[in-house]
Structure 1
């Protein structure tokens, strides 16, 4: 299963800058709809486009592995 780390990146940003980062701010900067950002952050196994991942990598100045990770399912 793919797990997105969007909430963690937002928390890291807040810790580093002292400023709260909202989905609205990310949406304005990346042109990713706020609803899509919410789904990436909150829905398990949400499937988004590589274009969105690319935009988030640019926004957070990070690599793909910092945005998402593979987690093995426990049966």
Structure 2
């Protein structure tokens, strides 16, 4: 059983005031990696990587986060950032 983080809660107040930013595209760009490269190196599905890359993911498995952090030798806070929205 794999654990996941769900960003799609229906708590409109929370979602309206905060946003989770994913820095995967920056990390990939710095290393000149393509989505196919990250998929091959991590074993993650291309769709998972694409959703994170385009910042359209609403849920991320903890296993995926761990694999990405291992690949990029980073902490979770370097991959994801909680950013207050501009009210």
Interval containing the TM-score (normalised by the shorter chain): 0.7 to 0.9
For residues 1-75 of structure 1, the aligned pairs below 5 Å read 1-14=19-32, 21-44=33-56, 46-75=58-87
For residue 13 of structure 1, report the CA deviation from its aligned partner.
Answer: 1.1
Equivalent residue of 2:27, what SS? helix
Gaps of 5+ in 1: 15-20
Q: 2:42·2:68 contact (CA, 8 Å) conserved in 1?
A: yes
**Alignment TM-score, normalising by the size of structure 1:** 0.82
Higher RCO structure (Cα 8 Å, ≥6 apart): 2
Gaps of 5+ in 2: 1-18
For residue 54 of structure 1, report the CA deviation from its aligned partner.
Answer: 0.4
**Alignment TM-score, normalising by the size of structure 2:** 0.71
